[in-house]
């Protein structure tokens, strides 16, 4: 039998290389091979896209934290910046009751801007507080959303709530609390009109500041010339936006006297005319179609139970619906 030649060192090295490469290849294929590589590459790309598209929600934005950690500050500045501004802090620095506390915003641009869905936030995250354990802890900011409102506030009529739109130069008084709901039609944010001054006399309502008394003059209402002289003279002296108070007083003689304000002796026809014509309800009914019916003002209520703004070291921030900063004010 012929002898089998012994393998040379070169052949031995080649065989080992082929075996190692084959082992690595089969191990790679058994663990997923090319499909796994493509899946991992695709997942990595997806994560990167998701991270670049994420936006901090408005409710968690805190000035000094969120804004300072972004590489591109402009991407968190609203396109409405310098269009809607915080005009002043109102009475926020001195008022403790939410139903009376207010600040003022204004649309200083030349275009109408919808502000429903925007957010206001205080600056309680920028200073520390002593907690129940007598330890210094960071504060937590409060955020409140601007609600919908009614364009025309009707009495005893169901309202259709709609987004609040500030026309050019419109301002809004934003109250932290709500109006006392002794009448159903006074529970919503509303646009101020030429009759709204009558609301100042409604008892139990938090109108801070008072609405301007720009109602139609009582002496200009229809039908006045048909009244007797005593009633005509009474109406001519009435103040704008004032509803005369009717009261009865029983005299010792048994006579029942009827008064409008402090005036006695007016006829029944006069009393009925005055009571039906000089009120918020009648004014809206008579003047809702006037071209100057609406004023450049909204009253907005955030419906909070506690105050929104502290008396000092406060920072007011306004964000749009996408969580971008519109304006800010410190005091």
Domains and CATH numbers, the chain: 79-194+293-331 (2.60.40.1260), 217-290 (no CATH)
| pLDDT number for residue 20 | 56
Per-residue 3-state assignment (H helix, E strand, C coil) for the chain: CCCCCCCCHHHHHHHHHHHHHHHHHHHHHHCCHHHHHHHHHHHHHHHHHHHHHCCCCHHHCCCCCCHHHCCCHHHHECCCCCCEEEEECCCCCCCCCCCCCEEEEEECCCCCEECCCCEEECCHHHCEEECCCCCEEECCCCEEECCCEECCCCCCCCCCCECCEECCCCEEEEECCCCCCCCHHHCCCEEEECCHHHHHHCCCCCCCCCCCCCCCCHHHCCCHHHCCHHHHHHHHCCCCCCCCCEEEEECCCCCEEEEECCEECCCHHHHHHHHHHCCHHHHHHHHCCCCCCEEEEEEEECCCCCCCCCCCCCEEEEECCCCCEEEEEEC
pLDDT per residue rounded down to tens, the chain (331 residues): 445 455 555 555 555 555 554 555 555 555 555 444 444 444 443 333 332 333 344 444 443 333 333 334 467 899 999 999 999 999 999 999 999 999 999 999 999 999 999 999 999 998 887 888 888 888 899 999 999 999 998 877 778 899 999 999 999 999 999 876 655 567 789 999 999 999 999 877 778 899 999 999 999 988 888 999 999 999 999 999 999 999 999 888 888 899 999 999 999 999 999 999 999 999 999 999 999 999 999 999 999 999 999 999 999 999 999 999 999 999 9
What does the pLDDT read at residue 61?
43
What pLDDT does 173 receive? 98
What pLDDT score does 15 carry? 56
């Amino acid at each position: 039998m012929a002898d089998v030649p012994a393998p040379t060192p070169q052949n031995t090295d080649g065989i080992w290389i082929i075996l190692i490469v084959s082992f690595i290849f089969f191990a790679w294929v058994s663990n997923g091979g090319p499909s796994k590589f493509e899946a991992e590459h695709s997942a990595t790309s997806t994560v990167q896209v998701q991270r670049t598209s994420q936006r901090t929600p408005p409710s968690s934005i805190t000035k000094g934290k969120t804004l300072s950690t972004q590489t591109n500050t402009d991407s968190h500045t609203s396109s409405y910046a310098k269009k809607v501004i915080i005009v002043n802090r109102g009475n926020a620095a001195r008022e403790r009751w939410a139903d009376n506390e207010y600040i003022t915003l204004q649309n200083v641009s030349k275009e109408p801007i919808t502000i429903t869905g925007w957010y206001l936030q205080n600056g309680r995250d920028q200073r520390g507080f002593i907690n129940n354990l007598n330890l210094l802890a960071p504060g937590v900011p409060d955020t409140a959303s601007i609600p919908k409102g009614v364009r025309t506030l009707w009495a005893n009529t169901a309202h259709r709530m709609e987004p609040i739109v500030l026309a050019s130069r419109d301002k809004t008084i934003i109250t932290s609390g709500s109006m006392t709901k002794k009448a159903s039609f006074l529970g919503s944010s509303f646009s101020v009109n030429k009759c709204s001054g009558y609301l100042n006399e409604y008892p139990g309502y938090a109108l801070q500041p008072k609405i301007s008394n720009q109602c139609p003059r009582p002496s200009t209402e229809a039908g006045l010339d048909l009244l007797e002289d005593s009633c005509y003279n009474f109406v001519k002296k009435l103040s704008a936006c004032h509803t005369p108070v009717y009261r009865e007083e029983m005299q010792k003689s048994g006579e029942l006297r009827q008064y409008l304000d402090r005036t006695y002796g007016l006829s029944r026809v006069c009393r009925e005319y005055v009571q039906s014509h000089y009120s918020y309800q009648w004014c809206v009914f008579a003047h809702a179609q006037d071209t100057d019916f609406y004023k450049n003002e909204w009253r907005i209520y955030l419906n909070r139970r506690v105050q929104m703004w502290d008396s000092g070291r406060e920072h007011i921030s306004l964000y749009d619906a996408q969580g971008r900063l519109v304006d800010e004010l410190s005091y």
